[in-house]
Structure 1
Amino acid sequence: MKIKVINPNTTLAMTKGIEHAAKSKARPDTEILAVSPKMGPISIESYYDEYLSIVGVLDEVKNDDGADAFVIACYGDPGLQAAREVTDKPVIGIAEASLYLAATLSARFSVVTVLPRIKTMIEELVDSYGMAKRVVNVRTTPMCVIDFERDPEQGMKLLREEGKRAVEEDDAEAILLGCAGMAEFADSLEKELGVPVIDGVVAAVKMAESIVDMGKKTSKTKTYKYPEKKEYVGELKKFGSTTVPN
């Protein structure tokens, strides 16, 4: 099978890291195609960034490159619901996948993420997935997304500190890494902290493999029906066409 992993930001070094994480746990017969959109922010750390990234994500889903499933590799899951409208193939967000996986492995868990301004965004996302009672805390670090690429040693130090606090102070029984750029730290942190540490990229890839293996597709009966065909103008003109199969 072929899974297209979309990094909604345009930092190609981060896309390479996401690709490595996806391939590290994917089955040998799974092809991973990791891409960044042609347009969008270099990192996503605000509502503004997130909303502006969605058009690029939808463009990559519409141009599916023959993929059997898609992974949206940003912890805000930008454009996830809209992406499910433009294809009948499975679309998995890394936050949603990590939360579902954590709920099968532990009763209570904390998210460790980037800048403090992200906290409310993730809390709202967690609540939208019905997981507010399971997530006991969303912990932040002073590092932005790109900082984790530039200084992984400091990134690991801060994740270790916040992960330890989550276990000791939050009574968290698992840790979710709240940024796709943190994938490389998951295995080492798990050994140090003694609880499951879940990287959403890997969780989403494994979920996508399972759904494809089961032959399931996105329901098109109502909510995720293909968008009604209508005219779009300006830069969005090409989005007026749909991806309904012939």
Structure 2
Amino acid sequence: MRLAVINPNSTVSMTEKIAEAARIAAGPGVTVEARTCAGSPPAIQGPEDGDLAAPHVMAEVRRAEAEGADACIIACFDDTALAEARAAVSIPVIGIGEAAFHAAMLLSPRFSVVTTLSVSVPVIADNIDRYGMASACARVRASEVPVLDLEKPGSDARGKVSAEIARALAEDGAGAIVLGCAGMADLAAELAAEHGVPVIDGVAAATGLARMLVALGPSAKPTRKEHPCPAS
């Protein structure tokens, strides 16, 4: 199985971190091919960055299919260009945000999201609403950590994320935490142990989902055919 993991931003160190998380989650028998969107902003922080990254994501998704990938993961928590990518190719395309929300709902009736900056909160909240998961999400919270601080050795990014998780558990009634940035992928296990609740990394969740969809074979291929609603 070949899995293309696409980092919508242009920061190579983040691509490498994402790829490592995907390889650990994928296990044996899966080749993870990591791709960086070199023409994109260095971080996706808000809808404007997402709009700039979208054409590069689309190009990488199409290239992945042409080169024989069995599935694609879009490794930005905003699920950048996800709907458009699914409509453009015939292989499964999974966003790490949507995958993480599904995983959280299987683990707890209520979850909170801890993301980076406040500018990302409306995008994530809108996605949760469009996916039909708003009733399960207690709150989308910003730790006020710039995305690239997650790549800086010695920054206080981890401490800020952990403090926001503690506030979510105390104030939101959440039984699970979703990490709202692909750059947090290496923090999930440590933060879960620290706080004693499931802490979900969307890269790992999307990788597991991709394996499942590919294993299902042709029945899991996306369809562009419109199905009429049944008569009431």
Q: Using structure 2 for the length normalisation, give the TM-score.
A: 0.93
Partner of residue 230, structure 2: none
Give the length in aligned residue pairs: 223
Aligned counterpart in structure 1 of residue 124 of structure 2, from 105, 122, 125: 122
**Percent sequence identity over matched residues?**
42
Structure 1: how far apart are the matches of 2:184 and 2:154?
A: 9
Partner of residue 138, structure 1: 140
Partner of residue 165, structure 1: 167
Partner of residue 193, structure 1: 195
Unaligned runs of 5+ in 2: 228-232
Question: Quick check: 2:149–2:155 contact (8 Å CA) kept in 1?
Answer: no
Once the two structures are superposed, the pairs formed by residues 3-42 of structure 1 within 5 Å of their partners are 3-42=3-42
- How far off is 1:131 after superposition? 1.1
Q: Using structure 1 for the length normalisation, give the TM-score.
A: 0.88
Task: Give SS of 1:201's match.
Answer: helix
The amino acid across from 2:124 in the alignment is I
Partner of residue 89, structure 2: 87
- How far off is 1:50 after superposition? 0.3
Task: Give SS of 2:135's match.
Answer: coil
Structure 1: how far apart are the matches of 2:164 and 2:199?
A: 12
Partner of residue 155, structure 1: 157
Once the two structures are superposed, the pairs formed by residues 95-106 of structure 1 within 5 Å of their partners are 95-106=97-108
Partner of residue 60, structure 1: 60
Aligned counterpart in structure 2 of residue 180 of structure 1, from 170, 179, 182: 182
- 1:139-159 Cα distance to aligned partner (Å, 9 max, x none): 112211101111465111111
Task: Give SS of 2:116's match.
Answer: coil
- How far off is 1:27 after superposition? 2.0
Structure 2: how far apart are the matches of 1:46 and 1:31?
A: 31
- How far off is 1:26 after superposition? 0.8
Partner of residue 230, structure 1: none
- How far off is 1:116 after superposition? 1.2
Task: Give SS of 2:139's match.
Answer: strand
- How far off is 1:222 after superposition? 3.2
Question: Quick check: 1:88–1:220 contact (8 Å CA) kept in 2?
Answer: no
Unaligned runs of 5+ in 1: 224-246
Structure 1: how far apart are the matches of 2:166 and 2:153?
A: 20
Partner of residue 71, structure 1: 73
Question: Quick check: 2:112–2:177 contact (8 Å CA) kept in 1?
Answer: yes
Q: Which has the higher helix share?
A: 2
1:218 aligns with 2:222: yes
Structure 1: how far apart are the matches of 2:224 and 2:117?
A: 37
Deviates more, 1:152-161 or 1:140-149: 152-161
Structure 2: how far apart are the matches of 1:151 and 1:75?
A: 22
Task: Give SS of 1:14's match.
Answer: helix
The amino acid across from 1:63 in the alignment is R
Task: Give SS of 1:142's match.
Answer: coil
Task: Give SS of 1:40's match.
Answer: coil
- 1:66-114 Cα distance to aligned partner (Å, 9 max, x none): 1000000000001101101111100000000000111111000000000
Mark the CA change 1:89 to 1:134 in structure 2 (over 3 Å): closer, same or farther. Answer: same
Instruction: Give RMSD over aligned pairs.
Output: 1.2
List structure 1 segments (4+ residues) > 6 angstroms apart after TM superposition: none
